[in-house]
Amino acid sequence: MDKLKISILGSGNLGTSIANGLYESGIFKPENITLTRRKLQKLEHMRDKGFILTDDNIEAVKAADVIIVAVEPQHINKVLVEIKSGMREEHLLISVATGVKIAQISEQIGNSCTIIRAMPNTAVAVKESMTCICYNKADEKSVEIAENIFNTVGKTLVIEEELMSSSTALAACGTAFFLRAIRAASQGGIEIGFPSKEAIKMAAQTAKGAATLLLTSENHPEFEVDRVTTPLGCTIAGLNRMEHEGFSSALIKGITTSAEKARNLYKKNEK
């Protein structure tokens, strides 16, 4: 991996977060990583870390084994057409552009290089993203490279492409759902006596602790809930009240609504 040459086309929020993740992992060398964007001066801070900077996407493609396309969906076609002449069949192209399907990318590129799609979330910035990746046909090595890259900014799961819009709802929109849950908990905390700042800290750390319990033990959530809910206790009283008010139902309905919306957005993008 330390010899792998990677170019990130469109190094904005996500692109630079991935670059920093690769850099800090120690597995990938910054001198093997090229970053592009049109306003190159905005990337100057990355030069100090040893990354190569250019505003020439074709030059970046020619220098790379792996190309990560991290531009906004509305810019991707322009970039794909631009780099077409520099693309080789041996290239691995990873696209993080929301809603742009492998078939659409392949059509623009016009050769049979390996294409993998990835859907991270905004927690890439703190290396805690849940990233889903998918491919139609890819060799084991390419999948391993994609997993290694996204494991530097969180956790990675391989899924079918038809589930990418569902993954957007659960794991990308999901960041907002859990943030809102934390905000609601903190509002409850204020009502029972804590100043806002302390209430948010307490709610966020409690949420983090609950998530960590699940991720480290791999227990079912109800197993962990059972451990906190003593008979006649205050936890079960609060929990049941929340359920009477539609807590689980609201979350499930929100996720299915977002997934439906994401599926329709994708259809619009195809036109």
Task: List the alpha helices (DSSP H) in 92-220.
Answer: 102-109, 140-151, 164-167, 173-191, 196-217
Rounded least distance, CB 114 to ligand NAP, Å: 19
Q: Cβ(109)–Cβ(61) under 8 Å? A: no
Between 100 and 138, CB nearer to ligand NAP: 100
Single-letter amino acid, residue 266: Y
| 70 near ligand NAP (CB under 6 A) | yes
Nearest alpha carbon to residue 175 among 217, 224, 128, 239: 128
- Shortest distance, position 242 Cβ to ligand NAP, whole Å: 30
Q: Which is nearer to ligand NAP, 119 or 199 (CB)?
A: 119
CA–CA distance, 34 with 67 (Å, rounded to integer): 9
How far apart are the C-alpha atoms of 89 and 70, rounded to whole Å? 20
Tokens of 240: 């049941």
* Using rule CB under 6 A, residue 189 touches ligand NAP: no
The answer to whether 175 touches 207, Cβ cutoff 8 Å, is no
- In the complex, least distance from residue 119 CB atom to ligand NAP, rounded to whole angstroms: 6
The order of strands in the sheet holding 154-158 is 52-54, 33-36, 6-9, 66-69, 92-95, 114-119, 129-135, 154-158
Stretch that binds ligand NAP, among 44-52, 67-75, 159-167, 196-204 (CB under 6 A): 67-75
- Which of 18, 199 has the CB closer to ligand NAP? 18
Helix (H) or strand (E) holding 79: helix 73-83
Q: Which is nearer to ligand NAP, 66 or 97 (CB)?
A: 97
- 73-81, 138-146, 149-157, 195-203 -> range binding ligand NAP (CB under 6 A): 73-81
Q: Which is nearer to ligand NAP, 49 or 78 (CB)?
A: 78
Interaction residues for ligand NAP, span 123-182 (CB under 6 A)? 124, 172
- CB of residue 241 vs ligand NAP: minimum separation in angstroms? 35
Our finding on whether 6 is near ligand NAP (CB under 6 A) is: no
From residue 271, how far is each of 23, 104, 162, 165 by CA, in Å? 38, 11, 18, 17
Contact between 75 and ligand NAP (CB under 6 A)?
yes
Q: How far is the CB of 154 from ligand NAP (least distance, A)?
A: 11
* 6, 64, 71, 87: which one binds ligand NAP (CB under 6 A): 71
* SS3 (DSSP) at 92: strand
Tell me which residues touch ligand NAP (CB under 6 A).
9-10, 12-15, 36-39, 57, 70-73, 75, 78-79, 96-98, 119-122, 124, 172
